[in-house]
């Protein structure tokens, strides 16, 4: 059985949701970022990590990609145009959503206080709003890259939830409706309940 190291309120949520969607059994090892529990398997202290047999895989998107390819769900097959578009969306979300949310988080709570830039959060919020507006204009649905749910959807919805919790500007209505529908999926509710 897979072991997932992390907490619900971290990027580990992405991995847990993917495992539920793929119908794979797993065990959660409650490991806070930088804790001894995570450092035992990832010396950087970053969550999530996935244990598959004797192997440890780090990085939420790398883990989701591995699981999706291995179990043949939440992804288009490698080497197809559909997969290239899915990967482009995944990287767009990492650049435009995850990166700005993470920069704001670091300047608010993680960097040494004397290195925190007072204006960093405002800049990240502004950039996030532009990116959300762009994504909203491109969005056709029902999923981000068309008719098939992929790991890009999990990444997007987790980032939209993170943005809401961090009091970032609300995303446009069509993305809010999309995220609401995604959060109603049985696999999502199985993780949060």
Residues that bind ligand GSH in the complex, under the rule CB under 6 A:
10-11, 33-34, 45-48, 59-61
Q: How far is the CB of 5 from ligand GSH (least distance, A)?
A: 10
Closest to ligand GSH by CB, 61 or 157: 61
Decide if 156 contacts 150 (C-beta within 8 A): no
Whole-angstrom Cα distance, residue 177 to residue 175?
A: 5
Beta partners for residue 28, in sequence order: 4
Q: How far is the CB of 170 from ligand GSH (least distance, A)?
A: 22
Q: How far is the CB of 105 from ligand GSH (least distance, A)?
A: 8
Whole-angstrom Cα distance, residue 151 to residue 158?
A: 11
Closest to ligand GSH by CB, 49 or 182: 49
Closest to ligand GSH by CB, 133 or 161: 161
Closest to ligand GSH by CB, 11 or 76: 11
Cα-based distances in Å from 121 to 33, 70, 86: 22, 38, 29
Closest to ligand GSH by CB, 10 or 75: 10
Residue of closest CB approach to ligand GSH:
33
Q: How far is the CB of 42 from ligand GSH (least distance, A)?
A: 9
How does DSSP classify residue 169? P
User: Strands 49-52 and 2-6: what pairing?
Assistant: antiparallel
Whole-angstrom Cα distance, residue 156 to residue 8?
A: 16
Q: How far is the CB of 48 from ligand GSH (least distance, A)?
A: 6
């Amino acid at each position: 059985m897979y072991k997932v190291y992390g907490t619900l309120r971290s990027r580990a949520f992405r991995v847990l949701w993917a495992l539920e969607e793929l119908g794979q059994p797993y065990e959660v090892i409650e490991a806070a970022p930088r804790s001894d529990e995570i450092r035992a398997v990832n010396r950087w202290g970053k969550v999530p990590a996935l244990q598959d047999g004797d192997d440890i895989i780090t990085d939420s998107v790398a883990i989701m990609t591995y699981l999706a390819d291995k179990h043949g769900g939440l992804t288009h097959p490698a080497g197809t145009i559909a997969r290239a578009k899915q990967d482009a969306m995944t990287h767009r979300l990492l650049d435009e959503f995850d990166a700005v949310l993470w920069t704001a988080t670091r300047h608010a709570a993680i960097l040494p206080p004397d290195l925190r830039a007072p204006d960093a959060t405002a800049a990240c919020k502004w950039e996030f709003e532009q990116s959300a507006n762009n994504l909203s204009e491109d969005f056709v649905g029902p999923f981000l890259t068309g008719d098939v749910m992929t790991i890009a959807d999990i990444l997007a919805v987790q980032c939209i939830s993170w943005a809401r919790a961090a009091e970032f500007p609300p995303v446009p209505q069509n993305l809010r409706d999309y995220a609401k529908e995604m959060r109603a999926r049985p696999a999502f509710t199985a993780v949060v309940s």
